[in-house]
Amino acid sequence: MSNEGYVTADGRKIGGTVMEMKNITLRFGGVKAITDISFDIKQGEIRAIIGPNGAGKSSMLNVISGFYVPQEGEVWYKGSRRPQMRPYEVAQQGIARTFQNIALFEGMTVLDNVMTGRLNHMKTGLFSQAIWKGKAEQEEVANREVVEKVIDFLEIQAIRKTPVSRLPYGLKKRVELARALAAEPSILLLDEPMAGMNVEEKEDMSRFILDVNDEFGTTICLIEHDMGVVMDLSDRVVVMDYGKKIGDGSPDEVRNNQAVIDAYLGVSHD
Amino acid sequence: MFYREAGDFKTTYKDDNQTFPIKFDRYRYYFVLFVAFALIPFMLNDYWVNAIFMPFLIYSIAAIGLNILVGYCGQVSLGTGGFMAVGAYACYKFMTGIDIWLGGVQYALPPINIFFSVILAGLVTAIVGALFGLPSLRIKGFYLAVATLAAQFFLVWLFNKWEWAYNFSASGQINAPERGIFGVNVTGPNVDAWAKYLFCLVILTICAVVARNLTRGSVGRKWMAIRDMDIAAEIIGVNPLKAKLSAFAVSSFFIGISGALFFSVYLGAVEVGEAFGINKSFLVLFMVIIGGLGSIFGSFAGAAFLVLLPVLLKNVLVGGLGWPTDLAAHLEFLIVGALIIAFLIAEPHGLAQLWRVAKEKLRLWPFPH
Ligand SMILES: Nc1ncnc2c1ncn2[C@@H]1O[C@H](COP(=O)(O)OP(=O)(O)OP(=O)(O)O)[C@@H](O)[C@H]1O
Ligand SMILES: [Mg+2]
């Protein structure tokens, strides 16, 4: 696998490798969730991971974000091998994510939820915060400005002060994306950002994902079930089945790959 | 009709971040401060101070402290009494002077001004609290409650046994010597009612402002993130160790201050098991639950409620209707018990939430649409 970038079908320039998974194997007791998988994510691309239910996609994202520690294999990030890390350390390295089942802070407002995305950028100590006037307040306002941009971008201005627990599912997903974006991550991991949405919501979400990538140049790695969506959005696709990688390439290559066709036809759902 | 934010536009994020964004609330807050600082001190007598204001002010500090831990960070604690004891004994040591032996040499720290003794007592309690908070990294909920309960019993036992802590007094009690600030006594036998009151009020005000500042910024959001979903908190970069321990430390800081005041200004003499037993832990926890988890205002409301309730029952039932005292006391238990259950089931956000709902209604009144 080369470290070079490439130019996408729609003419965007993709950079070198930012993250590389090398021979990852993850077991839960006897169950092999991931078997010897390698793939890379390049700077500025939209990388998709697809596969049938239980293929190990979420597990892969959990390995990247430090929730699961693989028994074998290495994670390389920005040119060096990453030592074992706790999830919060991974986050502090600039990797943000959303969850398949929404993981928002239900007791807080939308604004506070999105503000939590800025925590890595907020450094004033306990003492300054106790005083508030001065450093802490300036920092709060500066970060609020970033957050308001994200809120505008995702068009959730109207629900800013609403407690998250009162929101419908589709909006919650959007707020979760907002929280991840607020962190200004170098890699954004999205676990089924469109699951359970209706067609309109899916279209909105697709647009947001493309815009994020386009406007901020954020590298995105997303899991998605809906083949159509994946083909539209992504630059390169990894296909997993039963914990193994069965395909890797551009959407067109993957679509014509016999193993992939078999896996999708062989599985009755969707 | 009077109460609404329409027309009160915020043009900066700073304005939007205010503690009381609505003008009406802000004026009410200034009004309360004015009454508390400028009017009440002139209208006090000993009965009012000792029966109502002292316990209210001091328990409010404890409730704010416990609310930070339980209401904001979601960590249960039944060790409040023990932590108040740490504050009380630390304050006692600071105000009477500390002898330390290091390598056979005795160093004597002279007595420290009462205000700083109280603050330092808070800091000592913060350290102790953080230590006892360490198990929270591994255990949650019920098990954590039991661990903090162990802390409660251990600390009371410690201050019973550790003679150095009570300056080797024969009775095992600690007695607050006469101490003052700006030449006015606030501890000891000869203290004016207004002096005690103002001293505690100033400290409470500082504590409340600090608590409010901490809970509105990034530290507070870290705590709330841990409370709402610790896995998601980690994924946005919150170090659970630091967040939980800082909550334990800050919470214990306030609780230690309240313990210090409870001993030095309010009671004057303390026997640890009696003053800071498990009952105290439950009392403060009930204040937080009834007042409202995760609300500074709720801490005040809960403290006021549980301080006033017995006084009220006593005056009405015993004084007014001639009931026996113990019957009134039992009724108090019943009422508090029923309220706890009611609040836990129906309104976990307590009196503070009822107040918020009332305001929301008022904001729309008289046109509900
Ligand atoms: N924490 C865990 N403990 C035990 N087994 C697990 C755990 N997490 C995942 N697995 C197993 O690993 C396999 C892969 O699961 P994973 O959630 O990664 O699949 P997925 O591709 O995300 O599926 P879906 O499309 O349903 O989200 C499954 O067999 C699952 O049961
Ligand atoms: Mg999954």
A10-39 pLDDT, tens digit per residue, is: 778 888 899 999 999 999 988 899 999 999
- What lies within 8 Å, CB to CB, of B229 at 6+ separation is A103, A104, A105, A106
Does B107 share its domain with B33?
no
Selection from A104, A107, A164, A110 nearest residue B348 by Cα: A107
pLDDT exceeds 90 at position B200: yes
Per-residue DSSP letter, A37: E
Same domain, B26 and B160: no
Averaged pLDDT, B247-270: 95
DSSP secondary structure string for all residues of B172-206 = S-EEPPPEEETTEEEESS---HHHHHHHHHHHHHH
Query: For the residues of A53-102, what is the DSSP string, one character each?
Result: TTSSHHHHHHHHTTSS--SEEEEEETTEEPPP--HHHHHHTTEEEE-SS-
A127 contacts in chain B (CB < 8 Å)? none
> What b/e string do you get for A202-222 counting C-beta neighbours within 10 Å, with b at 16 or more?
bebbbebbeebbeeeebbbbb
Do B137 and B192 belong to one domain? yes
Residue A270 is predicted with a pLDDT of: 45
Find, among A44, A50, A110, the residue nearest to A239 by Cα: A50
Q: What is the pLDDT of residue B366?
A: 59
Pocket test of ligand 1: the residue of A25, A26, A28, A65 to mutate, having most ligand atoms within 8 Å of its CB, is A28
Beta strands B105-109; B98-102: pairing state: antiparallel
Weakest mean pLDDT among A54-58, A180-184, A263-267, B237-241:
A263-267
**A1-94+185-270 architecture in CATH?**
3-Layer(aba) Sandwich (3.40)
Q: What is the pLDDT of residue A59?
A: 94
Q: How confident is the model at residue B233 (pLDDT cuts 50, 70, 90)?
A: very high
Say whether pTM exceeds 0.80. Answer: yes
> What is the Cβ-side half-sphere exposure of residue B215, based on CA atoms within 13 angstroms?
26
Q: Are residues B123 and B39 in the same domain?
A: no
Q: Please indicate whether residue A58, judged by its CB atom, sits closer than 6 Å to ligand 1.
A: yes
Same structural domain for residues B36 and B53? no
ipTM of the complex: 0.89
Of B229, B245, B277, which residue is a domain's last? B277
Establish if B256 belongs to a structural domain: yes
Please indicate, yes or no, if residue B176 is contained in any of the structural domains. Answer: yes
Summarised one tens digit per residue, pLDDT across range A90-143 is 999 999 999 988 899 998 999 999 999 999 888 888 898 888 888 888 889 999
Nearest to A108 among B210, B224, B236 (CB): B224
- Asked whether residue B69 falls in the same domain as residue B32, the answer is no
Averaged confidence pLDDT in chain A = 89
Average model confidence (pLDDT) for chain B?
86
Measured between CB atoms, which of A103, A108, A141 is closest to B13?
A141
Q: Which residues in chain B touch residue A121, judged by CB atoms under 8 angstroms apart? A: none
Do B39 and B52 fall into the same domain?
Answer: no
For the stretch B151-171, pLDDT in tens is 999 999 999 988 888 878 878
In the block, tokens 């036998």 appear at B189
What is the pLDDT at residue B40?
Answer: 84
Q: What backbone torsions phi and psi does residue B320 show, to the nearest 5 degrees?
A: -85, -50
Domain end, chosen from B250, B277, B304, is at B277
Domain limits for position B64: 48-277
For the beta carbon of residue A90, count every other beta carbon within 10 angstroms: 24
Same domain membership, residue B230 and residue B256? yes
Shortest Cα distance from B286 to chain A (angstroms)?
21
Distance of alpha carbon B230 from alpha carbon B208, whole angstroms = 26
Residue B37 shares a structural domain with residue B180: no
- Asked if residue B260 is part of any domain, the answer here is yes
Any chain A CB within 8 A of the CB of B281?
A: no
Please return the burial class of B187, using the count of CB atoms within 10 Å of its CB with bins 0-12, 13-18 and 19+.
Answer: buried
What is the structure's pLDDT at A260?
80
Domain-located, residue B344: no
Q: Do residue A88 and residue B234 have CB atoms under 8 angstroms apart?
A: yes
Q: What percent of chain B has pLDDT over 90?
A: 44
Q: Name every chain B residue with its beta carbon within 8 A of the beta carbon of A118.
A: 218
Structural domain tally of chain B?
Answer: 2
Q: Which of residues 172-201 of B touch A (CB under 8 A)?
A: none
Using H for helix, E for strand and C for coil, what is the string for chain A? Answer: CCCCCEECCCCCEECCEEEEEEEEEEEECCEEEEEEEEEEEECCCEEEEECCCCCCHHHHHHHHCCCCCCCEEEEEECCEECCCCCHHHHHHCCEEEECCCCCCCCCCEHHHHHHHCCHHHCCCCHHHHHHCCCHHHHHHHHHHHHHHHHHHHCCCHHHCCCEHHHCCHHHHHHHHHHHHHHCCCCEEEEECCCCCCCHHHHHHHHHHHHHHHHHHCCEEEEECCCHHHHHHHCCEEEEEECCEEEEEECHHHHHCCHHHHHHHHHCCCC
The verdict on B247 and B112 lying in the same domain is: yes
Mean pLDDT of B241-256: 96
Give the whole-angstrom CA distance, residue B147 versus residue B136. 9
Residue A100 CA to ligand 2 centre (angstroms): 6
Question: Which residue is listed with tokens 């205002």?
Answer: B297
Contact assignment for A87 to B14 by CB distance below 8 Å: no
Are A77 and A18 within 8 A, CB to CB?
yes
Partner residues linked to B179 by β-bridges = B187
Q: Is residue B332 in some structural domain?
A: no
Q: Where are the domains of chain A?
A: 1-94+185-270, 108-184
| Claim to verify: residue B39 and residue B86 sit in the same structural domain | no
DSSP class of residue B19 equals: S
Note the pLDDT tens digit of each residue in A185-233.
999 999 999 888 888 888 999 999 999 999 888 999 999 887 788 888 9
Whether residue B36 lies inside any domain: the answer is yes
Q: What is the pLDDT of residues B339-350, one digit of tens each?
A: 888 877 777 777
Q: B252 to chain A: which residues are within 8 Å by CB?
A: none
Let me know whether B5 and B141 are in one domain: no
Residue B151 falls within a domain, yes or no?
A: yes
Indicate yes or no: CB of A129 within 8 angstroms of CB of B14: no
Instruction: Evaluate if residue B364 carries a pLDDT over 90.
Output: no
Percent of chain B past pLDDT 70, that is, above it, reads: 92
Least confident of A234-238, A260-264, B105-109, B127-131: A260-264
d(CA A257, CA A181): 34
